[in-house]
Amino acid sequence: MSGLRIQAQHLRKQFRQSANGVLITAIEQLDFVIEPGEIVAVVGSTGCGKSSLFDVMIGLQAPTAGRLLIGDREPYRDFNGFRGLIATVFQQDRLMPWRSSLDNVCLPLELIGLAPDEQHRRARGWLERLGLAAFTDAYPHELSGGMRQRVAIARAFVLQPAILLADESFGHLDEVTAAELRETFVALARECGSTAVLITHQLEEAMSVGDRVLVFAKPATVLADIRVADWPAERRGELREAIQLTLQSNRCDERIARLAVQQPADAVIEQLGARDKHEQSDQAIKANGR
C-alpha cells in the first residue's frame, strides 16, 4: 500500500495534571506536512511532546485545538477507519508473551480478518526477511532484545501499512544492533512506499534515518525543518552541531536558517514560518513557566 500524507495544522495538545489541576502544554502551534512516502525523523528533547504527537497520530488522543490529518481524515475521529493503515513500533516491543513469534506477527492480520493460512504465509515471509526463520515458534522470553524488536518490526510491516510510526524504537538497544535495525526499518519502509515517522531524542539516530529531520522545541513546535541531502557530506558535522545548539537553546541556529535563504522560495517561507512559531512558543514557554 502506498503512503498517505500526514499534516499537522495549528495543532495543540494540553493535559491537565490530575494531582494539582495544572495545565501542561505538550504541543503548541505545530504545523508540518509530510508527503506520502517520505521518511522523516522527529527529534526533540525529553518531555517536549513527541509521544503526545505520536498518540494523536495513532488516534489515541484528541487534539486540544487544530487538526492532525492522515490523508484527509483525523485518526481520533475515525479510529476504526484507520485499522490496518497505521503500524507502530515502540521502545518496548509490546509482544504478547503467551504467543510465539509467528502468532505475534499474525495478530494484526487476525484483526483485519485475513484467513489463517494467508496470515501464516505472510507472517512467516516477514520473519524470514528479518532473519528469524529459525525462531518462528520461539516465545518472546526465549529471544534477545534485538530479536524481539525484529519480531515487532515484522509485525508492523506484515500489514504493508500506509503509515509507519516508530517512537524511540531503537535507543535502548546496543549501538550495533540499533544501527542495523534502523537501516532495516528504513530500507523496508522505502520498499513498501509507506510514509514513515521516526521519533527520537537522539540526534545521531535522527540524522542517520531521515531524508528530512524536524527539530522540535519544547513544547512541541517546529524549530527547524531540514532536508539532510541539502547539506553536503563535508558540512554534516556543522549541521549536527547546529541542531544540537538548536535543541539546547530552543531557538533555530543561524546556520540552519542561513542555508534556508539559499533554498527555493517556498522552502524559505517554510523556515521563516518555523521561526515565527518559535517566537510564539517562546511566549508559550514563559506563560507556562517551563
Ligand X SMILES: Nc1ncnc2c1ncn2[C@@H]1O[C@H](COP(=O)(O)OP(=O)(O)O)[C@@H](O)[C@H]1O
Minimal distance in Å, beta carbon 113 to ligand X?
32
**Count of residues engaged in binding Mg ion, rule: CB under 5 A:** 2
**Strands lying side by side in the sheet with 6-16:** 23-34, 6-16, 65-70
Q: How far is the CB of 118 from Mg ion (least distance, A)?
A: 35
The answer to the question of residue 44 lying near ligand X (CB under 6 A) is: yes
Report in angstroms how near the CB of residue 218 gets to ligand X at its nearest.
8
- Rounded to 5 degrees, φ, ψ at 16 are -100, 125
Asked if 262 touches ligand X (CB under 6 A), the answer is no
For residue 105, give the C-alpha cell.
506477527
Residue 49 CB, shortest distance to Mg ion, in Å, is 9
Q: Which three cell numbers stand for residue 269?
A: 517561507
To Mg ion, the closest distance from the beta carbon of 160 in angstroms equals 26
Residues in 35-54 at the binding interface with Mg ion, rule: CB under 5 A = 50-51
Contact 176, 145 (CB under 8 A): no
Q: Which contiguous run of DSSP H or E holds residue 214?
A: strand 212-216
What grid cell was written down for 194?
509507506
* Residue 210 binding ligand X, by CB under 6 A: no
Neighbours of 289 (CB within 10 A): 6
Q: How far apart are CA 242 and CA 256, in angstroms?
A: 7
Locus of grid cell 504465509? 121
Is position 200 an interface residue for Mg ion (rule: CB under 5 A)? Answer: no
Binding-residue pattern over the window 2 to 31 for ligand X, x denoting contact by CB under 6 A: -------------x-x------x-x-----
CB distance 2 to 193 below 8 Å: yes
Distances (CA, A) of 205 to 6, 30, 163: 21, 22, 20
- Strands (DSSP E) contained in 81-162 are 86-89
Nearer to ligand X, 44 or 108 (CB): 44
- 50 lines the binding site for ligand X (CB under 6 A): yes
Residue 49 interacts, among Mg ion, ligand X, none and using kind-specific CB cut-offs from 5 to 8 Å, with ligand X
Please name which of 13, 4, 161, 173 lies closest in space to residue 87, comparing C-alpha atoms.
161
What is the closest distance, in whole angstroms, from the C-beta atom of residue 166 to Mg ion in the complex?
11
Which of the stretches 42-50, 90-98, 147-155, 250-258 binds ligand X when contact is defined by CB under 6 A?
Answer: 42-50
Does 46 bind ligand X (CB under 6 A)? Our answer is yes
Instruction: Name the amino acid, one letter, at 21.
Output: G
DSSP state of 144: -
**Quick check: 47 binds ligand X (CB under 6 A)?**
yes
Q: Which whole-number Å values give the CA distances from 54 to 51, 182, 189, in the listed order?
A: 5, 18, 18
Q: Toward ligand X, which CB reaches closer, 46 or 262?
A: 46
Does residue 88 touch Mg ion according to CB under 5 A?
Answer: no
Q: Which is nearer to ligand X, 150 or 277 (CB)?
A: 277
| Residue 17 interacting entry, from ligand X, Mg ion, none, C-beta within 5 to 8 Å by type | ligand X
Residues near Mg ion (CB under 5 A) are: 50-51
Residues near ligand X (CB under 6 A) are: 15, 17, 24, 26, 44, 46-52
